[in-house]
């Protein structure tokens, strides 16, 4: 590293430490920049380049993680979490959670309590898959094999939900994507929780045509955030619904397939099967 790069690294490390030590005061951009002897404009650009997120977003991450710890304590209230995080009130706490977690602080504290989820395992041409649904739609879908415990993942996402091993109409309708009778397929509904950014990325994935692929950069450009390629990749990795939201259709700019939660072989199989069936008119009228 050059002398200037070392200096920049040390400044960013100092800024991160300052934010971590002072997040309860919710410091402004000007205050953080002053702590490392930089102008706000220069600091904003330097921090974003090195950390991958803006100083404001990093502060939000630190704040929401602390608020989550407070809310995890049984007797803590939303007011307690807001106060302990240095926020002016529960309204700001609500906005913070919606921006970062894609749910209200109350929903986080409840962790799926009072939510009824049905789940069942199904055999598909790609292997065993678990589909979980609420009354509103599909909330989770994942391949289940010896290398991946889909049910435990579901429990992690909804730790207090009432899970019932039961097949329902939404699951049966979802399984039609693996049959040859595509003409009777009804529109599949989702019941997802995610940040506004994640939801926007997932919605964009749904528009990738069957048998086609897109790069992470393509997705970032589509959502009008061309520099957010890394954040797009993170959002894609958080996709809770395998196959239906086709994260397997996203590849690296180099043409390599890239990572996939259930392995490269599974991704190759999915992409290949879709490419082979792209000219099937009934298939193209489906949710694909």
Catalytic residue positions, numbered:
247
Q: Which H or E run includes 80?
A: helix 78-85
Nearest CA to 266 among 171, 146, 125, 152? Answer: 125
257 vs 56: CA distance, rounded Å: 33
Length of the chain: 288
- Reading phi first (left if > 0) and then psi (alpha if -120 to 50, else beta), residue 37 is in left
Q: How many C-beta atoms surround the C-beta of residue 248 within 10 A?
A: 26
Nearest CA to 268 among 279, 277, 259? Answer: 259
Dihedral angle over CA of 248, 250, 254, 259, nearest 10: -40
Q: Would you call 236 exposed, middle or buried from its count of C-beta atoms within 10 A (0-12, 13-18, 19+)? A: buried
């Amino acid at each position: 590293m050059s002398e200037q790069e070392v200096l920049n690294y040390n400044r960013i490390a100092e800024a991160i430490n300052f934010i971590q030590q002072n997040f309860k005061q919710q410091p402004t951009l000007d205050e953080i920049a002053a702590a490392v002897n930089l102008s706000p404009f220069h600091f904003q650009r330097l921090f974003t380049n090195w950390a991958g997120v803006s100083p404001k977003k990093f502060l939000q991450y630190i704040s929401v993680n602390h608020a989550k710890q407070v809310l995890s304590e049984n007797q803590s209230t939303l007011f307690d979490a807001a106060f302990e995080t240095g926020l002016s009130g529960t309204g700001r706490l609500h906005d913070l959670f919606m921006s970062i977690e894609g749910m209200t602080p109350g929903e986080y504290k409840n962790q799926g309590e009072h939510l009824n989820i049905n789940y069942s395992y199904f055999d598909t041409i790609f292997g065993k898959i678990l589909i979980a649904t609420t009354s509103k739609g599909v909330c989770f879908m994942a391949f289940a094999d010896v290398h991946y415990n889909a049910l435990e993942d579901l429990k992690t996402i909804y730790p207090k939900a009432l899970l019932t091993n039961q097949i329902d109409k939404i699951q049966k309708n979802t399984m039609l994507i693996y049959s040859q009778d595509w003409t009777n397929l009804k529109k599949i509904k989702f019941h997802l929780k995610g940040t506004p950014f994640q939801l926007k990325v997932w919605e964009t994935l749904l528009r990738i045509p069957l048998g086609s692929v897109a790069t992470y950069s393509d997705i970032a450009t589509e959502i009008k955030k061309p520099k957010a390629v890394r954040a797009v990749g993170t959002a894609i990795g958080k996709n809770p619904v395998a196959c239906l939201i086709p994260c397997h259709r996203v590849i690296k700019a180099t043409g390599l397939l890239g990572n996939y939660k259930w392995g490269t072989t599974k991704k190759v199989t999915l992409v290949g099967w879709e490419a082979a069936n792209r000219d099937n008119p009934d298939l193209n009228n489906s949710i694909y």
